[in-house]
């Protein structure tokens, strides 16, 4: 808690310093700016009360739309004051504790101050001065400083919130930021024109015109809320399914989550885009879901070496996994990656004996991640392998079991070292003893 209080104090000092700079750049304001800020403050209170929950403990809202509209209409200390007062009012209404109340006020003040400074430093003028222009003309006039203002506001706001969570929970700042805010960046970009139009309608038609346009704010808010709720429910259901499966086999507890983590790092080493990375990570999380089928229960509980017939049954689990994944419409693009995650580059894998480029990219990534987890966990017959040994094994089996290009890019990437940077992930109990090769470790 002391660290959090220190962090909040630092943000508060930054907010005060930034607000002073805003006042120093434009100490004089007119009545029109004050009226615009007051009207937008009322709309902001309404927007802030429509908060929705984010995955890692943060809360989201569409308050940045009227906030940026306020800054666009009155890019001066009045905007900062209006945003601060608005947040003070909503925090008084809220049930959050004192530190959180203070933080929410000061971090929003900091974001607004820096956004206003960026706008004015780039030559942006109050949009009220362009009330006679059409919306395209006004956007052409202030488009660049407005775009920078939005970027600064969103960046400062999201990083400040993520920093508070990371400080409180002792987590990595960027990881918290990605978990809470990366998925919503597209919506921020799509919503920023709404903020501009809201300000332009006020400048052109007055409060009534802006009120008519404010109705889409409800639609934007619902889009945010629905998207986040769906993402959260889907992720929780996937994790619930995986935990239910791993409960049958205590020897592999945590295996799927580790494989998903490793697959994500490998996909990053390949330079894939964020969506491809997340889809591969999800496929890795689900690669063994077929083991929930009853036919695998006695085999998973067997402590001894598997017979040939039992091993043949176990080799069908990718098919069962793919069949389960195919029942969820939003996961059907992952069916191939799940089905073929035991296919080897040279065609010696299962269940279909695919080879080379016939194997889906996601499957090739999951296979390496799956094998790395097998090599880096303790077994009854050996200790977990270290970084040098894993590198040696991947090099040895490149072109046979593994895609040689993926191996080369992974081994040359800084991501390879990160595979060994989180020992807490490797908390599973040893797997059952089997007389198997590296190619069968996973």
- Give the residue numbers spanning the domain of 125: 2-231
Q: Which of 424, 427, 292, 271 is nearest to 361 (CA)?
A: 271
Domains identified in the chain, total number: 2
CB 349 within 8 A of CB 437: no
- Collapsing DSSP states into helix, strand and coil, what is residue 383? coil
Q: Is residue 218 part of a domain?
A: yes
Q: Is residue 107 part of a domain?
A: yes
Does one domain contain both 223 and 342?
Answer: no
Binning pLDDT at 50, 70 and 90, where does residue 303 land?
confident
Does one domain contain both 120 and 268?
Answer: no
C-alpha 100/C-alpha 51 separation (Å) is: 15
Q: Is residue 237 part of a domain?
A: no
Supply φ then ψ for residue 379, to 5 degrees.
-120, 155
Domain termination site, one of 206, 231, 256: 231
Residue 196 has a CB neighbour count (10 Å cut-off) of 22
Does one domain contain both 266 and 415?
Answer: yes
Q: Is residue 288 part of a domain?
A: yes
Domain termination site, one of 201, 231, 261: 231
Q: Write out pLDDT tens, residues 381-425.
A: 668 888 999 999 999 999 999 999 999 999 999 889 888 875 444
C-alpha 283/C-alpha 337 separation (Å) is: 6
Confidence check: pLDDT of 200 > 80: yes
Give, to the nearest 10 degrees, the angle between helix 64-73 and helix 98-121.
Answer: 40
Q: Is residue 192 part of a domain?
A: yes
Domain termination site, one of 231, 264, 297: 231
CATH number at residue 325: 1.10.3210.10
Does one domain contain both 162 and 41?
Answer: yes
Q: Write out pLDDT tens, residues 145-178.
A: 999 999 999 899 889 988 888 888 777 888 788 7
Binning pLDDT at 50, 70 and 90, where does residue 194 land?
confident
Tokens of 274: 């964020």
Does one domain contain both 198 and 277?
Answer: no
Q: Is residue 116 part of a domain?
A: yes
Q: Which of 104, 127, 105 is nearest to 116 (CA)?
A: 127
- Collapsing DSSP states into helix, strand and coil, what is residue 94? coil
CATH number at residue 211: 1.10.1760
Binning pLDDT at 50, 70 and 90, where does residue 438 land?
very low
The β-bridge partners of 53 are 59
Binning pLDDT at 50, 70 and 90, where does residue 53 land?
very low
Binning pLDDT at 50, 70 and 90, where does residue 56 land?
very low
C-alpha 77/C-alpha 19 separation (Å) is: 7
Does one domain contain both 98 and 158?
Answer: yes
C-alpha 26/C-alpha 354 separation (Å) is: 68
* Tokens 């607004």 found at: 112
C-alpha 421/C-alpha 222 separation (Å) is: 39
Q: Write out pLDDT tens, residues 258-297.
A: 999 999 999 999 988 888 998 999 999 889 888 888 888 7
Confidence check: pLDDT of 300 > 60: yes
Does one domain contain both 314 and 408?
Answer: yes
Question: Regarding predicted confidence, which is higher, 426 or 98?
Answer: 98
Residue 235 has a CB neighbour count (10 Å cut-off) of 13
- Enumerate the H helices of 247-350 as residue ranges: 255-269, 274-285, 297-301, 308-314, 317-326, 335-339
Q: Is residue 216 part of a domain?
A: yes
Q: Residues 6 or more apart from 256 whose CB is under 8 A from it?
A: 242, 245, 246, 284, 285, 286, 287, 288
Does one domain contain both 88 and 50?
Answer: yes
Does one domain contain both 266 and 224?
Answer: no
Q: Is residue 58 part of a domain?
A: yes
Residue 315 has a CB neighbour count (10 Å cut-off) of 14
Counted residue by residue, the chain has a size of 442
- Collapsing DSSP states into helix, strand and coil, what is residue 53? strand
Tokens of 344: 């080897």
Q: Which of 428, 421, 376 is nearest to 255 (CA)?
A: 428
Does one domain contain both 43 and 133?
Answer: yes
Residue 236 has a CB neighbour count (10 Å cut-off) of 11
Does one domain contain both 210 and 307?
Answer: no
CB 154 within 8 A of CB 188: yes
Does one domain contain both 125 and 221?
Answer: yes
C-alpha 373/C-alpha 263 separation (Å) is: 10
- For the chain, percent of residues with pLDDT exceeding 70: 79
């Amino acid at each position: 808690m002391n660290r959090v209080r220190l962090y909040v104090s630092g943000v508060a000092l930054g907010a005060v310093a930034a607000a002073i700079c805003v006042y120093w750049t434009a100490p004089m304001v007119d009545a029109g700016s004050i009226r615009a800020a007051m009207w937008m403050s009322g709309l902001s209170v309404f927007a802030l009360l429509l908060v929705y929950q984010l995955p890692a403990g943060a809360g989201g809202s569409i308050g940045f739309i009227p906030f940026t509209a306020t800054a666009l209409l009155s890019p001066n200390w009045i905007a900062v004051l209006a945003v601060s007062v608005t947040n003070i009012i909503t925090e008084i209404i809220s049930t959050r504790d004192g530190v959180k109340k203070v933080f929410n006020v000061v971090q929003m003040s900091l974001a607004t101050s820096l956004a206003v400074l960026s706008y004015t430093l780039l030559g942006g003028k109050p949009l009220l001065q362009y009330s006679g222009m059409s919306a395209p003309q006004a956007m052409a006039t202030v488009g660049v400083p407005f775009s920078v203002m939005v970027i600064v506001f969103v960046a400062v706001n999201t990083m400040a919130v993520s920093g508070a969570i990371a400080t409180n929970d002792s987590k990595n700042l960027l990881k918290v930021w990605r978990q809470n805010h990366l998925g919503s960046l597209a919506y921020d970009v799509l919503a920023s024109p709404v903020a501009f139009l809201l300000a332009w309608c006020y400048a052109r038609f007055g409060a009534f015109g802006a009120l008519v346009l404010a109705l889409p704010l409800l639609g934007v808010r619902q889009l945010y809320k629905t998207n986040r709720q769906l993402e959260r429910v889907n992720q929780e259901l996937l994790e619930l399914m995986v935990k239910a499966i791993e409960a049958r086999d205590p020897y592999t507890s945590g295996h799927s989550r580790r494989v998903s983590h490793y697959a994500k790092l490998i996909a990053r080493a390949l330079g894939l885009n964020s969506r491809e990375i997340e889809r591969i990570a999800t496929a890795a999380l689900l690669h063994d879901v077929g083991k929930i089928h009853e036919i695998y229960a006695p085999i998973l509980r067997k402590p001894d070496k598997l017979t040939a017939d039992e091993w043949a049954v176990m080799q069908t689990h990718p098919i069962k996994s793919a069949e389960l994944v195919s029942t969820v419409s939003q996961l059907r693009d992952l069916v191939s990656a799940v089905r073929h995650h035991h296919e080897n580059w040279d065609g010696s894998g299962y269940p279909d004996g695919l080879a080379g480029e016939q194997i889906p990219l996601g499957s090739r990534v999951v296979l390496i991640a799956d094998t790395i987890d097998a090599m880096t966990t303790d077994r009854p017959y050996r200790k977990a392998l270290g970084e040098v040994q894993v590198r040696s094994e991947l090099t040895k089996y490149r072109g046979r079991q593994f895609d040689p290009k993926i191996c080369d890019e992974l081994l040359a990437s800084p991501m390879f070292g990160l595979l060994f940077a989180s020992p807490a992930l490797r908390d599973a109990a040893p797997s059952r003893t089997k007389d198997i090769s590296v190619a069968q470790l996973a």
